Amino acid sequence: MKVGKGFPTERKELNRLTGPWFERGQSGRIRLHVMPTRRFKTYQFALYAGVPLSEEDVTRTALLPFVLRRGTASLPETRAFRERLDDLYGAGFGFDVMKRGDSQIVVFQLEVLQDRFAHGAGESLLEAGMRLLGEVVTQPALADGVFRSHYVETEKTTVRKRLEAIVNDKIRYAAERCIQEMCAGEAYRLNALGKIEDLPHLTPETLHAWYTEWLERASFDLYVTGDTSLEEVAALVPGAFRMPDGEPTVYSAPSACGSPDGVKTVVERMDVTQGKLNMGLRMGVRHADDDYPAALVYNGILGAYPHSKLFLNVRERASLAYYAASRYDGHKGILTIQSGIDIANFDRASAIIREQLDAMARGDISDLELEQTRAMITGQLRELTDSAQEMIGFHFNGVLSGRAREPEELIREVEAVTREDVVRVAGRVKLDTIYFLRDGKEE
């Protein structure tokens, strides 16, 4: 076990806001991040496993956690696995598949009651939780050396239904299509759940072969919060996770966002009654950049909050949109705008949205907009310290980007953002794609 020097083992004097922060270490191929704290009644485990987004791997990577959650070597039946969670005082287990920058990341989460609240448990719940999580990921239920065919076929159907459901959710569908058009030549265009057309070709044999390779290639980060220590966690990991030998792999920086050669407009027709107007913009400011706090404020003033320009000018004053908001992806360095409009209002709504972008670039930002936005962002950062899961997610963003910030540090940076900083970021924002989902009627 290696203990990193970047964080001291005692953080008693850090500050009143965050209390203890994460201690870092390593066990084989797994990076360890442990927050010793007595603030919560449960141990929170989270294992992040990330690989580069790719056409070939995206669907089989997405399918893996669905199959792994069905059972383990010692608990091969799904019912037995769920009963084991009940035995651990109703432990909660879940997973997610997500896209962050140009990486596809699977995260497994387990929440278990802390030992000091489980009188007479008869076993260490920290150790039991670690052992169960390790078995889910590295000792799955197999038949003849490969995944159980029934589990694979059932979960292929689950993934297919989730992908099909995106089409029925027109807000999400329009957001996905805008990204696909904007990033047509980039891995970022891929959905984290993969592609429907790939599913029929996945078999227990091919999926298990990829699983073995995935264990060797993925970047693994294990988080544990609770009344424990880095040394205690590190001692449990080798017996719980049967990983291939080697050192942890690191995440690659996302591909650079080029400047668009012009604005691409895509109109798609479906059976809809409300138009979905989405815009994709290249910003080029990412999580690790010095301008990241200013980019957060830029997005907040533009469209992230009820006081933002898009909400007030497009939805409230002009009454052109049922909703209007912006979203900033700090890992990829892009910004997207989503709005729901009457189909006949496409030209007017597009013009007013572009007016808000121009206003940001001119520095047409009031003191009130700046103050409210900084207060909203810093308030959210303070709130995340009330949740172990939120703090884990925040910290992992730093691992993924290569620049770790503590909440208090980012709060200070956001509070220091000036109008000039926001205008500087606005000068880097370039409209790339306009996507409009409308009905099938002719003009």
The two structure tokens encoding residue 196? 């429907």
The pLDDT score that the predictor gives to residue 259 is: 65
Distance CA 325, CA 69 (A): 35
pLDDT at residue 175, rounded to an integer? 97
Burial class of residue 229 in the structure, from the number of CB atoms within 10 Å of its CB (0-12 exposed, 13-18 middle, 19+ buried) = middle
Sign of the CA dihedral running 307, 308, 311, 317: positive
Q: At 357, is the secondary structure helix, strand, or coil? A: helix
Q: How confident is the chain (443 residues) per 10-residue block, as mean pLDDT?
A: 37 39 95 95 98 97 98 97 96 97 97 90 91 98 98 98 96 97 94 98 98 97 97 97 94 75 93 95 95 98 96 88 94 96 95 96 97 98 94 96 93 98 97 95 66
SS3 402: coil
What is the token pair recorded at 229?
A: 């220590």
Burial of 213 (0-12, 13-18, 19+ CB in 10 A): middle
- DSSP result, 38-80: SSSSEEEEEEEEEEE--TTTHHHHHHHHHHHTT-BSS--SHHH
Instruction: Supply the pLDDT for residue 261.
Output: 78
Euclidean distance between the first and the last CA atom of the chain, given in angstroms as a whole number: 67
Q: From CA 3, how far away is CA 330, in angstroms rounded?
A: 29
Question: pTM to 2 decimals?
Answer: 0.92
Contact residues for 24 (Cβ-Cβ < 8 A; gap 6+): 3, 4, 6, 7, 31, 32, 33, 230
Q: Domains of the chain, with CATH numbers? A: 2-240 (3.30.830.10), 264-438 (3.30.830.10)
Confidence at residue 280, expressed as pLDDT on a 0 to 100 scale: 97
Opening angle at CA 98, ends 128 and 160, nearest 5: 100
pLDDT value for 14: 33
DSSP for residue 140: B
CA distance linking residue 6 with residue 22, whole number of Å = 10
Q: Determine the pLDDT at residue 318.
A: 84
The pLDDT, as a whole number, for residue 12 is 35
Q: How far is CA 411 from CA 17, 61, 98, 332, 366, in A?
A: 11, 35, 26, 22, 21
**Using an 8 Å Cβ cutoff, are 384 and 394 in contact?**
yes
Please choose, from the candidates 149, 11, 275, 291, the residue with its C-alpha nearest in 3D space to the C-alpha of residue 299.
Answer: 291
Q: What is the DSSP letter of 317?
A: I
Residue 100 has, within 13 A of its CA and on its CB side, a CA count of 22
